[in-house]
């Protein structure tokens, strides 16, 4: 693996729909409800979201690597755990990504409200302490809550606010399916790693629940996303089009119920990411019609 490809792999591109989806939904809603939308602000929100997601991925790579919880990993390559990059260089990559998010976020705050600096600081702290503190909350089963809040509610409502400088209940409603699928990406990731995580004392929600309940939880997130997407017909009747994505959800759910595990769950992780992007794009188009 050459130098460039290893850093791309370390950024974990399959997780990036979690950063893109809330921005396209929040931006589309802003276009629908406001006559004076700042698309530059929405672009800055996208930069913040993408930089934070990449920073989280590098930060987790670094922290898990130095803690030794990434040895014999089943899923996507980890740079530190596999020895492809030094811990210091991965930590530096995480901090550079956090820096990009902070710069774009500060510029966005200067154009809207400086309250966004506080929200951004909390988001960065949450991203780092997920695995990077002495008592990482990701090792205690609280990762899904953080993902739902920051890559669901905060990112979607925040994008809408960035574009319009307003807050609306519609933005909150539309954040629910986005957040649920962001949680689903983390849930299936943790389901894949459940056996190894239990051995090294990484008490993710999947480890705490056990295999059967973790699978049920993942599937419930998929169906919650569909249900809340359909509820979005109160914002735009075209949101009903999200029902056409049900076969993809059903396919993922059936494979999960049948007991796919380990490397068999890696394709399902990719499909869940694509489902989030497809569903968010469908909602965005519905809002733009």
Q: Given this model, what pLDDT does residue 72 score? A: 60
Q: Given this model, what pLDDT does residue 51 score? A: 96
Pick the closest to residue 186 from 227, 240, 137 (CA basis).
Answer: 137
Pick the closest to residue 72 from 225, 285, 263 (CA basis).
Answer: 263
Q: Given this model, what pLDDT does residue 94 score? A: 95
Residue identified by tokens 């980890």 is 78
Per-10-residue mean pLDDT for the chain, 289 residues long?
79 88 97 92 97 94 80 70 88 95 96 94 92 83 92 96 95 97 94 86 90 96 96 96 96 92 88 94 96
Residue identified by tokens 């809040």 is 149
Give the HSE-up count for residue 106: Cα atoms under 13 Å, Cβ half-sphere: 5
Q: Given this model, what pLDDT does residue 199 score? A: 82
| Packing angle, helices 3-10 and 87-111, rounded to 10 | 60
Domain boundaries, given as residue ranges, for the chain: 3-288
Report how far residue 156's alpha carbon sits from residue 117's, in angstroms, rounded to the nearest whole number.
16
* Cβ burial 141-179 (10 Å sphere, 16+ → b, else e): bbbbebbbbbbbbbbbbbbbbbbbbeebebbebbbbbbb
**pTM for the whole structure:** 0.92
Report how far residue 260's alpha carbon sits from residue 257's, in angstroms, rounded to the nearest whole number.
8
Residue identified by tokens 């930590």 is 91
Q: Decide yes or no: CATH 1.20.120 for domain 3-288.
A: no
Report how far residue 166's alpha carbon sits from residue 170's, in angstroms, rounded to the nearest whole number.
11
Report how far residue 80's alpha carbon sits from residue 70's, in angstroms, rounded to the nearest whole number.
8
First and final C-alpha spacing in the chain: 44
Report how far residue 65's alpha carbon sits from residue 49's, in angstroms, rounded to the nearest whole number.
24
């Amino acid at each position: 693996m050459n130098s460039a490809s290893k850093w791309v792999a370390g950024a974990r591109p399959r997780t990036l729909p979690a950063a893109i989806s809330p921005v396209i939904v929040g931006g589309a809603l802003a276009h629908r409800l406001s006559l004076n939308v700042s698309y530059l602000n929405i672009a800055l929100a996208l930069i913040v979201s993408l930089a934070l997601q990449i920073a989280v991925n590098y930060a987790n790579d670094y922290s898990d690597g130095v803690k030794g919880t990434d040895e014999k990993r089943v899923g996507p390559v980890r740079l530190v755990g596999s020895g492809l990059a030094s811990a210091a260089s991965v930590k530096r990559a995480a901090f550079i990504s956090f820096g990009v998010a902070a710069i774009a976020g500060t510029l966005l705050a200067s154009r809207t409200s400086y309250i966004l600096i506080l929200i951004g600081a909390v988001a960065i702290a949450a991203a780092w302490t997920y695995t990077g503190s002495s008592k990482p909350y990701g090792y205690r089963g609280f990762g899904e809550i953080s993902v739902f809040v920051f890559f669901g509610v905060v990112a979607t409502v925040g994008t809408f606010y960035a574009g319009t400088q307003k807050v609306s209940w519609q933005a909150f409603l539309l954040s629910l399916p986005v957040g649920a699928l962001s949680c689903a990406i983390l849930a299936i990731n943790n389901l894949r790693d459940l056996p190894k995580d239990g051995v090294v004392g990484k008490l993710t929600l999947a480890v705490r629940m056990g295999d059967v309940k973790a699978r049920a939880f993942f599937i419930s997130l998929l169906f919650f996303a569909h249900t809340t997407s359909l509820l979005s017909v109160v914002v735009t009747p075209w949101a009903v089009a999200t029902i056409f994505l049900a076969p993809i959800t059903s396919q993922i759910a059936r494979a999960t119920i049948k007991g796919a595990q380990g490397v068999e769950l890696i394709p399902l992780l990719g499909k869940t990411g694509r489902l989030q992007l497809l569903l968010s794009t469908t909602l965005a188009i519905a809002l733009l019609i």
